[in-house]
C-alpha cells in the first residue's frame, strides 16, 4: 500500500481514509490531511494488545507528530517497509529485522521491549500439555494426538516463531496442514477466536492474550520456556534508499521509544493489572 506524500484535496483524503481503515491504520483523531505525521509498519500484536492506543497519544503530545500505524503480520510489514511505504518498521522477529538492515533497507535496529509467547489450549487438554516447560515437547504431544491447532499461517512474527518451534519438535506441518493443523491466514485476535471456537491449541503473544476477551474454554498450558522470548525492535527505513522517508520525524519516534520517557510509558502499560511489555532499550545494532 502506498501513501501519498503530498497535500491532497477532500476527495483524495476520503479515499485515503477508506484505504487506511482497510489496512488497520490507527490515527489520532482530529488530524487533517497534510498534517505532520509518520507512517509505521508494525505487527498486529502491538495493536491487538492496546499498546498503541495508550502509547501514541503520549508521543504525539510530546512532539506534535502524529503516528499512523499499518498493523499487519511482521512479514507483510517488512515487505511494506522494503517497498518504501513506511518511515519506520516496528516488529518482532529479530532475524528478519537484522536482515532488513543488512540488506540496506533499514538504518539501525533498536531494542525497544519484550514479552513472551504462550501456548494456549482447551482446559480439557487432550494432548496432556498442561504445565510443561518444554514447548517443543508440548507441540510434539499435540501432533501425536492430532489435537486441533489453530495457526496464523500469515508469515507474521508469531507464525515464524511457531514454525521454528514445530521444526524443533520434528513435526511435518505439510503433512498435517488441513487436518488437525488449521491455518487461518489471519491476525492474532482472529486466530484466537478460531481456536476458542474449535477448542484448539494456539501460540500467541502474551499481550494479545491478556487483552483477548473471547477466551471461552482456552487457558495457558505452556509458558516460561526460554524459546518463547519475544523481543520487539524498531528501525528507521533507509532515507538514502527512499528519499521521501521522513528521517527526522521517524528518528524522533525511535528516540522517544528508547528514551526514559518512552521506556517508562511502555513499562507502565498494564492489562488486567499485569504488565504487558517490558522495556529493554539498548544502543541499537
Query: Any idea how long the chain is?
Result: 285
Note the maximum CA span of the chain.
59
pLDDT given at position 26: 40
Residues of the chain with pLDDT > 90: what percent?
Answer: 81
pLDDT given at position 63: 97
| For residues 64-88, average pLDDT | 96
C-alpha cell at 118: 504462550
Whole-angstrom distance, CA of residue 197 vs CA of residue 213: 13
Give the DSSP letter of residue 226.
G
| For residues 133-139, average pLDDT | 96
Chain position carrying cell 510443561: 132
| For residues 135-164, average pLDDT | 96
Residue spans in the chain of domains classed CATH 3.40.190.10: 10-114+232-279, 115-228
Whole-angstrom distance, CA of residue 236 vs CA of residue 194: 35
pLDDT category at 116 given cuts 50, 70, 90 is very high
Chain position carrying cell 519475544: 230
Mean pLDDT of the chain: 89
CA 126 centroid distance within chain: 29
Domain at 10-114+232-279: CATH code: 3.40.190.10
Whole-angstrom distance, CA of residue 257 vs CA of residue 111: 10
Residue pair 224/132 in contact by the 8 Å Cβ criterion:
no
pTM for the predicted model, two decimal places: 0.82
| For residues 149-172, average pLDDT | 95
| For residues 184-202, average pLDDT | 95
Helix (H, G, I), strand (E, B) or coil at 241: coil
Residue 146 or residue 27, greater confidence: 146
According to DSSP H, which parts of the chain are helical? 10-22, 44-48, 51-63, 74-82, 94-102, 135-145, 157-169, 173-176, 188-198, 206-211, 247-258, 260-268
CA 13 centroid distance within chain: 27
pLDDT given at position 3: 40
Residue 27 or residue 260, greater confidence: 260
Helix (H, G, I), strand (E, B) or coil at 45: helix
pLDDT of 76 > 70? The answer is yes
pLDDT given at position 45: 87
Spell out the long-range contacts of 28-37 with Cβ–Cβ below 8 A and sequence spacing 24 or more: 28/56, 28/57, 28/60, 28/66, 28/67, 31/66, 33/7, 33/8, 34/7, 34/8, 35/66, 36/64, 36/65, 36/66, 36/249, 37/65, 37/66, 37/67, 37/68, 37/249
pLDDT of 1 > 70? The answer is no
The 10s digit of each residue's pLDDT in 19-45 is 443 444 443 333 444 489 999 999 988
pLDDT of 156 > 80? The answer is yes
Residue 283 or residue 132, greater confidence: 132
* Residue 271: partners with Cβ closer than 8 Å, 6 or more residues away: 49, 50, 207, 210, 211
Which CATH number, 3.40.190.10, 3.30.300.250, 3.40.140.10, 1.10.3720.10, labels domain 115-228? 3.40.190.10
pLDDT of 128 > 90? The answer is yes
pLDDT given at position 285: 56
Amino acid at each position: 500500500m502506498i501513501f501519498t506524500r503530498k497535500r491532497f484535496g477532500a476527495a483524495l483524503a476520503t479515499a485515503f481514509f477508506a484505504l487506511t481503515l482497510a489496512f488497520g491504520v490507527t490515527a489520532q483523531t482530529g488530524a487533517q490531511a497534510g498534517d505532520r505525521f509518520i507512517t509505521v509498519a508494525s505487527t498486529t500484536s502491538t495493536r491487538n494488545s492496546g499498546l498503541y492506543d495508550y502509547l501514541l497519544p503520549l508521543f504525539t503530545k510530546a512532539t506534535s507528530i502524529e503516528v499512523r500505524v499499518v498493523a499487519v503480520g511482521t512479514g507483510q510489514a517488512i515487505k511494506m517497509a522494503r517497498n518504501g511505504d513506511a518511515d519506520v518498521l516496528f516488529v518482532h522477529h529479530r532475524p528478519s529485522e537484522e536482515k532488513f538492515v543488512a540488506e540496506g533497507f533499514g538504518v539501525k535496529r533498536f531494542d525497544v521491549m519484550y514479552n513472551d509467547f504462550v501456548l494456549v489450549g482447551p482446559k480439557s487438554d487432550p494432548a496432556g500439555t498442561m504445565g510443561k516447560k518444554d514447548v517443543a515437547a508440548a507441540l510434539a504431544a499435540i501432533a501425536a494426538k492430532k489435537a486441533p491447532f489453530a495457526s496464523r499461517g500469515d508469515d507474521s512474527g508469531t507464525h515464524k516463531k511457531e514454525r521454528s518451534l514445530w521444526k524443533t519438535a520434528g513435526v511435518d506441518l505439510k503433512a498435517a496442514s488441513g487436518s488437525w493443523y488449521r491455518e487461518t491466514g489471519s491476525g492474532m485476535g482472529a486466530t484466537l477466536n478460531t481456536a476458542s471456537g474449535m477448542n484448539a491449541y494456539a501460540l500467541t503473544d502474551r499481550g494479545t492474550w491478556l487483552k483477548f476477551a473471547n477466551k471461552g474454554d482456552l487457558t495457558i498450558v505452556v509458558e516460561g520456556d526460554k524459546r518463547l522470548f519475544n523481543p520487539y525492535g524498531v528501525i528507521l527505513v533507509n532515507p538514502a534508499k527512499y528519499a521521501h522517508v521522513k528521517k527526522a520525524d521517524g528518528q524522533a519516534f525511535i528516540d522517544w521509544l528508547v528514551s526514559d520517557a518512552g521506556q517508562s510509558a511502555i513499562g507502565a502499560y498494564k492489562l488486567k493489572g499485569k504488565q504487558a511489555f517490558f522495556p529493554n532499550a539498548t544502543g541499537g545494532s
